[in-house]
Structure 1
Amino acid sequence: MYVFDLDTVELPFHIWCLSCNERIGQGVRFNAEKRQVGQYYTTPIWLFRCKCPSCKSYFAIQTDPAHTRYVIESGAREQLQDWNPEEHGGFPIHDPEAPSEDGAFSLLERKKTQQQDGAKRQARIEELEEHNRGRWADPYTRNAEMRRAFRADRKARLERAARDANLRERIGWSDDLPLVGESSTDLNLSTPVVRRDFYEARAKRPKPARLAPAFSRAQRAPQLSTAGRRLAGQLLAPGYAKR
């Protein structure tokens, strides 16, 4: 019989129970039996004995101070993951074979990377300084160009403000509500442009062909007999009157 303490332990990774083959997820907490099973230099090695919630069988995990991680002692097996849990909101897995960031080679590589980055930044700074010197070689000319551009922009802003005020007055638009600026679509749909496009399209439209009469007036006139022509002459005479 051995002496143990009760402590709350949280699974550091996903495991499979060897008794019922049920999966227990990372982060599940257990009231575990805690006892010391060894020592790594001056650091104690702790073993946690937990009960599976499905089959009530026991499994044990213990600390591994040499590699700063947990290992399964018995009753379960770790779920192997071929993806990076950090990309899915999980915790990173310790790789004991990965080079330490505090080692001499890591410090040398980090120093070399910093030197390369510093050289790139210095080249960019010199490029910006050269560009600035080229633009401000003649301060008077540069200042005149800026003032000219500002005056043109101010004139355009004043004209736009006057047009907006006129539009607000015509349509009864409140001064508190903003007006949307003009766009290329609005200019293409304005009344003068639409009217011009309409007349141009109508001028390009082919005119309908007028058909010539199939028969002339003389051919369409009925052929009268001699008596009929005599009667027609009497009826059309100016002095003829009905009796």
Structure 2
Amino acid sequence: PPQHGSLNKYHHSHPLRERARKLSQGILVIRFEMPFNIWCDGCQNHIGMGVRYNAEKKKVGTYYTTPVYRFRMKCHLCVNYIELQTDPGNCDYVIVSGARRKEERWDPGDSAQVLPTTPEQRERLAVDPMFRLEHGVTDRGVLERATPTLTRLQEAQDAWKDDFGLNSRLRRRFREEKKTLREEEEEAAALQARAGLSIPLLREEEEDRRLAALLSLRAPDSYEEKQRLKRSEISQRSWFAPGTARAGGGALQKLALGAGRAPRGPLGPPPTPAGLGIVRRRA
């Protein structure tokens, strides 16, 4: 109904729901992202930059006309609470309690960086002509000293200007290397399957090729030569088994010895065909 104004008023709820449960205390629950690396004082664990928390945000003061906000959140590794607040004067965050900052700041002048003009210098440049002239002379000297370095950087940047061509050549080379690696893997897998190897094979080098050329891994005789030698051996082999020949020879030797031991009597008449059982057929 119109007298309620909105559904939120009708249901006695806030549009932000659970995020506004402490709004009466001036606290709003927001999603806060850690601005730098810190060490938690409760569990002594490292919390990296970019880790997000549900933080309670409230205003604690002003810097001139800029409000200063404080954020309170619970460590996700222990029960310790961490508090940070903004520092508009230095464009940074300051740890109030519950953690210590991992010091990674440095002086830009030590790394030969171009320093921005401070507010005091800008004011003097606007009102003091002599300071403006001296500042201009100093800037020209810095430019002359930095010109060779800037020229080299510009040349290096021009060399990479054709991004499409460089990317195409790089991708083409990667495709060729990938194809070569795939062929080598297939050859290694085929060799492992053929030789029954279960060990990984290393990549073939030029030294391996020279060493393999000095070795003779080929059989001395071909398959046809082996077959010819085998047939020749079979054709020259005796038809009788060696055991049979030895057994027959031993029987003959026994008969000969027995005949030698028998007493010799007078020789009888020569054998006749009838005595030998030979019958002649009459025509």
Q: Structure 2 length normalisation: TM-score?
A: 0.33
* Bigger RCO of structures 1 and 2 (CA < 8 A, at least 6 apart): 1
Q: Which of the pair is proportionally richer in helix? A: 2
Q: Which has more radius of gyration?
A: 2
